[in-house]
Amino acid sequence: MTTVSLPDYAIFVGDFWSEFRNFLSNTSYSRHFVIVDEHTARYCMPRLQQQTPDINWLPIIIPPGEQHKNIQTCNTIWQQLMDNNANRGALVVNLGGGVIGDMGGFCASTFKRGMDFVQMPTTLLSQVDASIGGKLGIDFMQVKNSIGLFRNPQGVWIDPAFLQTLPFREIRSGFAEIIKHSLIADPGEWERIQAIQNLESITWSDFLLPSLQIKKDIVIADPFEKGLRKALNFGHTIGHAVEGMALESEHPLLHGEAIAIGMICETYLSHRILGLPLETLDFIAGFLVRIYGHHPLAEALYVDYLQLMTQDKKNENNQINFSLIPDIGKVKVNQTADKMLIRESLDYYNSMV
């Protein structure tokens, strides 16, 4: 097991179970709740129960998926906490992907002005990204993560063994954030990643630590997203627009699949605006298409993509805001591009067949 320390809490990675049992026996929580969705109730809760046989876990089970990350589901969670006499002396364990972590953390932080909670992420995306940094929340009126708060957990417990039951598409989606972390901050890690031949034979525990360290360093430097933390948005300005449009279509894309497209387009912008070498652009783009395939973006819809980017909450002064890479391992926040250049970046992606 490896421990990564932040100012207010620690991240435990690997076979942490004896340490986790110590944590439970050294604390005197009145009750132990575990929030899961139907999938993690089935695939992950048995492991938690087997590893902590002395604890009487009170499960709160919600339906899976982003469409349930809303106030109605929070009602159910708060109601079950109330029905089971939860108070501020109780603990909540969020056992699941980013949806459970964000929403379970939000419910725990607001219930009776805040209960302790820990994150036990079970998807690749939540292990390297969502569980770290204290951002909690839910979607409201179709706007993602529009209600929420910053609050740190008591700890983040990452067991790569949970990934064994995660479907391949979900693994590949989370891998996009690992790629992103290396491109914005760690050329050595990018070297290792670009040498990957076959995603299905990867030992993910080898890639988790370097990746979550990058996220950790960035959130320590800028806990409330005043500046540097925007670096994590590389690929996300165009990626979110692609994700939003795909949601309406017959073939929705997972978050990381859309971010892969966004990273290709924003690497193109990095080439045009910040002078990233052309061969580096072609190499990154080729790698991403090899992993994620190619999903043409209809030219007739460019205007809708641009419209979605214009609405992005990260924009300032009516300009579409990007975080771009002047070179591998470097990032510049608060970059802007005019609409013609953004269209060109979509053309670049489309030309890659």
Residues that bind ligand NAD (CB under 6 A): 37, 39-40, 43-44, 64-66, 69, 96-100, 102, 122-123, 125-126, 129-130, 133, 135, 144-145, 162, 165-166, 170, 255
- In this structure, the dihedral spanned by the alpha carbons of residues 219, 224, 227 and 231, taken in order and rounded to 10 degrees, is 40
Q: How far is the CB of 137 from ligand NAD (least distance, A)?
A: 7
Nearer to ligand NAD, 130 or 276 (CB): 130
Helices (H), the chain: 17-26, 38-43, 45-51, 71-83, 98-110, 124-125, 168-185, 187-194, 205-221, 236-248, 255-274, 278-292, 302-310, 339-350
DSSP string, 71-86: HHHHHHHHHHHHHTT-
Q: If you search the block for the tokens 């909690």, which residue do you land on?
A: 136
Q: Which residue is nearest to ligand NAD (CB)?
A: 98
Min dist. Cβ of residue 118 to ligand NAD (A) = 15
Min dist CB 15 to ligand NAD, Å, is 16
Residue number with CB closer to ligand NAD (166 or 178): 166
Integer Cα distance of 98 and 124 in angstroms: 9
Q: Cα–Cα distances in Å, from 91 out to 57, 65, 347?
A: 10, 24, 50
CB of residue 39 to ligand NAD, shortest distance in Å: 3
Q: How many CA atoms lie within 13 A of 211 on its CB side?
A: 27
Euclidean distance between CA atoms 194 and 183, whole angstroms: 11
Task: Between 66 and 304, name the residue whose CB sits nearer to ligand NAD.
Answer: 66
Angle at 200 between CA 196 and CA 205, to 5 degrees: 75
Q: Which is nearer to ligand NAD, 176 or 328 (CB)?
A: 176
Closer by beta carbon to ligand NAD, 153 or else 210: 153
The least CB distance from residue 152 to ligand NAD, in Å, is 12
The residues pairing with 60 across neighbouring beta strands, listed in sequence order, are 35
Q: Give whichever of 92 and 99 is closer to ligand NAD, judged by the CB atom.
A: 99
In the complex with ligand NAD, the residue whose CB is nearer, 52 or 126, is 126
Q: What are the residues facing 153 on neighbouring strands?
A: none
Nearest distance, CB of residue 47 and ligand NAD, angstroms: 9
Minimum separation from the CB atom of position 173 to ligand NAD (A): 6
